[in-house]
C-alpha cells in the first residue's frame, strides 16, 4: 500500500482492487476453460507486495478472507446434519488421522535431508497435511457433489483434520519450550495442555448442541416473524460470526469449526434453506478474497532459490496425500470410485496450513522459507484440484473399459444420497388459494408436491401435516435446488407478486425438460415469461376478462355456443402472445 494513502481508505481500496483484479483474471481463466480459482490466485499475486503496481493491504485482505471462511463453513453446516457426520465417522476419523500421520512423516523426512531439525520438519509436515475447507467446498459444490458419499466423507474428514489442527495449535507453545531446553517442564505440561484443549472442544460441542440448539432456532423464528428480509439476513450473519468468534475466544477452537457447528444446529430448523440462500449473500465475495489473500503471500523471486523445497512440498500434496487416502479407503474396502473422489478432493492445502505456519514461525519452529513453499504448494494444488476431481469419472471409465477392474464400482462420487429423485414430483411456489387448489388436484392424480412458501406459519402447518415444504425465497437457486427442481416433472408458480420471469429462467436452466406453468398479474408480462421458458401462462387480467365476458353474454341471453365463440375471440385477442407455448 503506498505510504501516502490515508489509512481510512485502506479497506475500500483493498476490497476494490482485490475484487477488480479477481473479476478480470477470473473472467479470463473462465474463458480459457480453467477454474476461476486460478484467476483469483493470480489476482492475489498481482496486487501483492512482491509485484509492482497497486499493493493491497495484506492484513485487511486476510481478515476479509477469514469472514469468507466463516460464512462458507456456516453454509456447509446448514446442510450437513449430525447424522451425516456420524454416518461417515468410521471412514473420516481413521482416514484423517492416517493421512495426516503419513503426510507429516513425509514432510519431516524430506526436510530433514534439507538440513531442518526433526521438530521443524514435523510442524511443516502437519501444515502440509491439512486440506483447505474453502477449496474442498467450492470443488464439491461446482461438481454438485457436496451431498454425495464422497462429499459427506470429505467434509467429515476435514472436520477431524480441523480438530486435530486446533490441538496442534494449542500445543505449539509447549513444543517451542521443549525445543528451547525446557524439556522436563514441557514434557510434563504437554499432557495437561492437551487435556485442557480436548475439554474445551468437548465443552464447545456440548454448548452448541444443547444451549445453541434451543437459542438459535428461537432467535431466527422471532426475527423471521418481523417479515423483514434485512433483519433476517443480519440475524444469521450475527449468529455465524458471533459463534465463530466465541468458539475461538472462549474455547480455543478455530472460528471455522465454530461456524460449522453453528450451521449444523441452524440446519435442524426450518430456516436452513432460507438462511443458505437469502442470508449469506456476501459469502461468495469474501470467499474470493480468501484466494486473493493466498496469492498475496507468494514471492515469485523465491522460485529461483527455494525451488527444491517447493517441489518436495508439491509432491507430498499431489501424490503423498492422495496415496495415503487411497490406502485408507482400500484398507476399509471402499469402492475405488469413491476412494479416488476422496483422494483427489483432499489433494490441496489452504487456510489452516497458513495459520499453523504463521503461529509456528512466530515461535521459531519453522525456517523463513517454509511459508513460500506452502504458498507455492497451495497455489499449484488449488489450481489443479478442480481438474483432478473432474478426472475421477473419466479415469474410472478408462479403467473399466480396459478391464483393469474386476467389476464396476457400485458407488458413484456424483450420485446424491439425500433422497431419491422422482419424476412424479411437482414443485409448487406459493400456498394461497391458487396453490392449495393446484396441490390438491396434483395429489388426487397421483403426483407428489413440494411447496415453497415464505409464510413461516404456513410452512410449519404443512410440515406438521406431513407435507414436504421449504421456507425460503423461490428466486434463489439454492431454494429451487433443495426442492429438487433438477428432477421434478413440473413447476407451478401459484404465488402472486413474485418475479416469475426470474424463477422461470432459473428453473429452465436447472432442468431444461421441466414443464412450467405460471401466473402473472398483467398481460404485458406474458412475453417476458414466454421468452424465459414458461410453457403455460395465466394472466389475472385476461382471466378476469374471460369470466366477465362469459357472465355478460349469459346475462344478455346468449346461447352456450355464442358464449364459447366469444370466449375464444377474447382469448385470441388477449392471450395470443402469452399462450403460444401452452
Structural domains of the chain, with CATH: 64-281+309-365 (1.20.1530.20), 425-575 (3.40.50.720)
Is there a contact between 84 and 151 (Cβ–Cβ < 8 Å)? no
Is there a contact between 468 and 451 (Cβ–Cβ < 8 Å)? yes
User: Mean pLDDT across the chain, nearest whole number?
Assistant: 81
pLDDT tens, per residue, the chain with 582 residues: 454 445 567 878 888 899 999 999 999 988 887 778 788 889 999 999 989 888 888 888 888 878 877 887 787 777 666 776 777 788 888 999 999 999 999 999 999 988 898 888 999 999 999 888 778 887 887 777 776 777 888 888 988 887 787 777 767 766 665 554 444 445 556 677 777 777 888 888 888 888 888 888 888 888 888 888 888 888 888 888 888 888 888 887 778 778 888 888 887 777 777 777 766 667 777 778 888 888 888 888 888 888 999 999 999 999 999 999 999 999 988 888 888 989 999 999 877 787 788 778 777 888 878 888 998 998 899 889 988 998 888 888 787 676 655 444 433 333 333 434 455 789 999 998 899 999 998 888 888 999 998 887 888 889 888 898 988 878 877 788 888 898 899 999 998 878 888 899 989 988 889 999 998 887 778 888 888 889 988 888 777 887 888 888 888 888 888 878 887 787 777 666 444 444
Neighbour tally for 409: CB within 10 Å: 17
Bridge partners for 491 per DSSP: 427, 516
**pLDDT of res. 403:** 60
Order of strands across the sheet with 490-493?
A: 469-471, 448-453, 425-429, 490-493, 515-520, 536-539
Cα 486 from chain centroid?
18
Residue 273 grid coordinates? 434453506
- Global confidence as pTM: 0.64
Neighbour tally for 543: CB within 10 Å: 14
Phi-psi region of 6 (alpha: psi -120 to 50; beta: other; left: phi over 0): beta
> What's the chain's length in residues?
582
**pLDDT of res. 220:** 86
**pLDDT of res. 379:** 87
What would the pLDDT profile of 441-476 be if each residue is shown by its tens digit?
888 888 899 999 888 788 888 988 889 898 887 887
Amino acid at each position: 500500500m503506498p505510504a501516502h494513502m490515508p489509512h481510512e481508505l485502506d479497506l475500500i481500496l483493498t476490497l476494490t482492487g482485490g475484487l477488480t483484479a479477481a473479476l478480470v483474471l477470473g473472467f479470463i481463466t473462465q474463458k480459457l476453460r480453467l477454474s476461476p480459482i486460478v484467476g483469483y490466485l493470480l489476482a492475489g499475486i498481482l496486487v501483492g507486495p512482491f509485484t509492482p503496481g497497486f499493493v493491497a493491504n495484506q492484513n485487511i485482505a486476510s481478515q476479509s478472507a477469514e469472514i469468507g471462511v466463516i460464512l462458507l463453513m456456516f453454509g456447509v453446516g446448514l446442510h450437513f446434519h449430525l447424522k451425516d457426520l456420524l454416518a461417515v465417522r468410521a471412514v473420516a476419523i481413521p482416514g484423517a488421522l492416517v493421512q495426516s500421520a503419513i503426510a507429516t512423516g513425509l514432510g519431516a523426512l524430506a526436510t530433514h535431508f534439507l538440513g531442518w531439525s526433526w521438530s521443524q520438519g514435523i510442524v511443516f509436515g502437519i501444515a502440509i497435511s491439512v486440506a483447505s475447507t474453502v477449496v474442498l467446498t467450492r470443488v464439491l459444490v461446482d461438481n454438485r457433489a457436496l451431498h454425495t458419499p464422497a462429499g459427506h466423507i470429505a467434509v467429515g474428514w476435514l472436520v477431524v483434520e480441523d480438530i486435530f489442527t486446533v490441538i496442534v495449535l494449542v500445543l505449539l507453545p509447549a513444543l517451542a519450550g521443549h525445543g528451547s531446553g525446557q524439556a522436563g517442564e514441557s514434557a510434563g505440561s504437554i499432557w495437561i495442555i492437551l487435556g485442557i484443549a480436548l475439554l474445551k472442544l468437548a465443552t464447545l460441542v456440548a454448548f452448541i448442541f444443547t444451549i445453541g440448539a434451543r437459542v438459535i432456532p428461537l432467535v431466527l423464528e422471532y426475527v423471521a416473524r418481523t417479515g423483514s428480509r434485512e433483519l433476517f439476513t443480519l440475524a444469521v450473519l450475527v449468529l455465524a460470526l458471533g459463534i465463530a468468534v466465541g468458539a475461538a475466544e472462549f474455547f480455543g477452537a478455530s472460528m471455522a469449526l465454530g461456524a460449522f457447528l453453528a450451521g449444523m444446529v441452524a440446519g435442524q430448523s426450518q430456516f436452513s434453506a432460507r438462511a443458505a440462500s437469502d442470508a449469506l449473500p456476501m459469502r461468495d465475495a469474501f470467499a474470493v478474497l480468501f484466494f486473493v489473500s493466498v496469492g498475496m503471500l507468494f514471492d515469485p523471486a523465491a522460485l529461483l532459490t527455494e525451488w527444491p523445497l517447493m517441489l518436495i512440498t508439491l509432491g507430498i500434496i499431489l501424490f503423498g496425500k492422495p496415496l495415503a487416502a487411497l490406502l485408507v479407503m482400500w484398507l476399509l474396502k471402499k469402492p475405488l470410485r469413491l476412494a479416488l473422489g476422496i483422494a483427489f478432493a483432499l489433494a490441496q492445502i489452504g487456510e489452516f496450513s497458513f495459520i499453523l505456519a504463521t503461529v509456528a514461525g512466530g515461535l521459531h519452529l519453522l525456517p523463513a522459507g517454509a511459508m513460500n513453499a506452502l504458498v507455492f504448494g497451495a497455489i499449484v494444488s488449488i489450481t489443479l484440484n478442480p481438474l483432478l476431481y473432474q478426472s475421477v469419472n473419466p479415469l474410472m471409465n478408462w479403467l473399466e473399459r480396459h478391464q483393469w477392474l474386476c467389476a464396476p464400482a457400485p458407488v458413484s462420487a456424483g450420485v446424491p444420497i439425500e433422497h431419491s429423485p422422482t419424476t412424479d414430483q411437482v414443485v409448487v411456489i406459493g400456498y394461497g388459494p391458487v396453490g392449495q387448489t393446484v396441490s390438491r388436484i396434483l395429489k388426487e392424480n397421483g403426483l407428489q408436491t413440494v411447496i415453497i412458501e415464505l409464510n413461516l406459519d404456513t410452512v410449519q402447518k404443512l410440515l406438521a401435516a406431513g407435507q414436504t415444504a421449504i421456507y425460503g425465497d423461490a428466486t434463489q437457486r439454492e431454494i429451487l435446488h433443495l426442492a429438487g427442481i433438477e428432477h421434478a416433472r413440473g413447476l407451478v408458480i401459484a404465488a402472486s407478486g413474485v418475479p416469475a420471469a426470474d424463477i422461470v429462467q432459473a428453473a429452465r436452466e436447472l432442468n431444461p425438460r421441466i414443464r412450467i406453468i405460471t401466473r402473472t398479474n398483467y398481460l404485458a408480462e406474458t412475453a417476458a415469461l414466454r421468452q424465459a421458458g414458461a410453457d403455460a401462462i395465466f394472466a389475472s387480467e385476461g382471466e378476469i376478462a374471460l369470466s366477465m365476458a362469459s357472465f355478460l353474454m349469459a346475462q344478455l341471453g346468449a346461447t352456450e355456443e355464442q358464449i364459447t365463440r366469444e370466449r375464444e375471440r377474447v382469448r385470441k385477442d388477449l392471450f395470443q402472445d402469452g399462450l403460444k407455448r401452452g
